[in-house]
Amino acid sequence: MEIHISGRHFHVSDALKEHVADKIKKLEKYTAKLEAAHIIFEVQKFVHTAEITVFGKQLRFAAKEESVDTYAAFDDAYESMKLQLVRHHEKTKDHKARRYGTEA
C-alpha cells in the first residue's frame, strides 16, 4: 500500500512518519482491497488536525480529527478509520455468508 504523508503549515518529522506508517499498515488486515492512504497534518495556532483518507478498489474512507497534540489527533483519526473499516468488513462478510435457497 502506498502511504503519502504531508503537512500544511507544518513540517512532518521522521518520528511522526514512522508512527503513521506503522499504524496505517495495520489497516490492511481489515480488507485486501486497500491501495493507497493519504495522511494530511495541519496546524493552526493550537489546533492540530489529522486527516486520513484510504483508497482502494471501489473503496474510499475518510476520517478527520482535531486535538491539541499531533499524535493524539492522528490516533483519534486512526481509531475512527479502523472502526469504519471494521464495519465495512463485517457488512461484506455477512453478505457473502448468506446462501440463497437454504434455510438456516
> How much is the average pLDDT of 49-69?
94
Nearest Cα neighbor of 21 from 4, 42, 9, 43 is 4
How high is the mean pLDDT of the chain?
Answer: 89
Given a contact cutoff of 8 angstroms between Cβ atoms, the answer to whether 67 and 80 are in contact is no
Just give the CATH number of 2-96: 3.30.160.100
What is the reported pLDDT for 41? 97
> How much is the average pLDDT of 86-96?
78
pLDDT digits (tens, 9 = 90+) for 66-81: 999 999 999 999 999 9
Task: Please give the sequence-ordered ranges of beta strands (E in DSSP) within 9-101, or none if there are none.
Answer: 34-44, 47-56, 59-67
Backbone angles phi, psi at 103, to 5 degrees: -110, 120
What is the reported pLDDT for 92? 78
